[in-house]
Amino acid sequence: MKKRPLFYLFCMVASIGGLFLTSCNDDDYAGAAPDEITAHYSNKLSDGTRSNLALTYSGHELIGKSVNFETNDSRTAQLTLQCILPHEMETQLTGISLVPDGQGGYTFEGNATGNQTGTTFSYNGTVQKGKLALDIKSPQIPTNPLVEAKKLNFVKAGVVLRISGGLDLGGLIGGKLDEFLKPVLRDVSFHADGNITASYSGMQEAAWKSSPANLVSFYMTDGNTLYVTPNVDMIIRQIRLNQAVTRADDNLITVLPKVYALLNQWSTTGLKLTYNENYAITLNKTELDPIFALLKVLPDAIRDISIGEIPVLGETTIGTLADLSALISDLSLTLYFNRENAG
């Protein structure tokens, strides 16, 4: 009989211990703990070897982007995609179920719609301590006239250019632009995932090539307003790859940081253009101003391209025109296309 109180005491201790063990088990995650995977993941060129994001969009690698991953319990998570969908600065995905992968990480998947643009897509990925892999699959921007057109063949360029004092240089500059573009640009394709690709040829090449995916995206806010967004990191990397293959002059590599700083302002909202039903796309002066700044830092080989003899200005180059940009009173650039032989 004297042993029974000790028995009850043992049961109480065992029960309390069980409660503590149960409480501790709540923190025994099947993979990494929340604070080990809640992080900012990025694959920008500036990250270098610190890049911790592997990202694909429509089956093609996409760099220059970042993703925030958050979880409180390693069971559900929230993703914030930053400038990944065309014309969408942030896309939040919530209530994502995390499934342990048996290797210390988690897998996840789902379907979603862009918060700002209505772009639909599916996704899947894996996360582990120090690394996030994410695939954006089958993205579809809302239908628009350019998606319906699919491919537009380049016809000609038109320029409106007036210098303070009434000097009209549009015809001359437009002619020079045609001379430059026709041998190098054949057509432009507008894809349902928001990608823009083009068939182009190098200045010294005869064969037409197709530009890689994910260099440039587009989005239409209405039937006449078009935003074109360059992925500056992807473009600069492509330039480096092309120069590695062609062993071109290192001049362009030298100015890439300056190019990056100037063009990066377009990497979120994009360039605003107007579109009309005759397949003409126009870029106006306010959007062209950064191009003049860009011309000033490009190699002399480009700045010294001759535009021709211009009254009052004499023999004029692209660099001279860039230097005179403050005197320009009216400027627009229009590219004219047609749908003949569209794919």
In a domain, 322, yes or no: yes
Whether residues 135 and 226 fall in one domain: no
Q: Is the pLDDT of residue 7 over 50?
A: no
Residue ending a domain, among 89, 114, 139, is 139
Whether residues 83 and 206 fall in one domain: no
Provide the token pair at 178: 């045609």
Q: Show the CA angle centred on residue 69, arms to residues 68 and 73, nearest 5°.
A: 150
Residue 159 φ/ψ, nearest 5 degrees: -130, 135
Confidence of residue 79 (pLDDT cuts 50, 70, 90): very high
Residue 306 φ/ψ, nearest 5 degrees: -75, 135
62 vs 300, more confident: 62
Q: Average pLDDT in the 48-53 region?
A: 95
Whether residues 109 and 133 fall in one domain: yes
In a domain, 20, yes or no: no
The H or E element containing residue 280 is strand 280-284
Whether residues 66 and 203 fall in one domain: no
Residue ending a domain, among 115, 139, 163, is 139
Whether residues 172 and 116 fall in one domain: no
Of the listed ranges 121-130, 153-162, 171-180, 329-338, the one predicted with least confidence: 171-180
Q: What is the mean pLDDT of the chain?
A: 84
Could you read off the pLDDT of 186-236 as tens digits, one per residue?
999 999 999 999 999 875 666 899 999 999 999 999 999 999 999 988 988
Residue ending a domain, among 120, 139, 158, is 139
In a domain, 273, yes or no: yes
**Residue 190, domain extent:** 145-338
Q: Is the pLDDT of residue 251 over 70?
A: no
Closest listed residue to residue 183, CA positions, set 152, 157, 213? 157
pTM exceeds 0.85? no
Alpha-carbon span 92 to 148, nearest angstrom: 28
pLDDT value at residue 270: 86
Whether residues 135 and 149 fall in one domain: no
In a domain, 7, yes or no: no
In a domain, 8, yes or no: no
Whether residues 201 and 303 fall in one domain: yes
Does residue 309 come out as left (phi exceeding 0), alpha (psi in the -120 to 50 range) or beta?
beta
Assign 294 to helix, strand or coil. Answer: helix
pLDDT value at residue 72: 97
In a domain, 27, yes or no: no
Tell me how many domains the chain contains: 2
**Paired sense of beta strands 151-163 and 167-168, if any:** antiparallel
Whether residues 119 and 72 fall in one domain: yes
Q: Is the pLDDT of residue 257 over 70?
A: no
Whether residues 199 and 280 fall in one domain: yes
172 vs 143, more confident: 143
Whether residues 105 and 151 fall in one domain: no
In a domain, 185, yes or no: yes
Alpha-carbon span 66 to 83, nearest angstrom: 8
Name the range with the highest mean pLDDT among 94-108, 190-204, 258-272: 94-108
Closest listed residue to residue 238, CA positions, set 205, 210, 262? 210
Whether residues 218 and 295 fall in one domain: yes
CATH of the domain at 96: 2.40.128
Whether residues 208 and 306 fall in one domain: yes
In a domain, 158, yes or no: yes
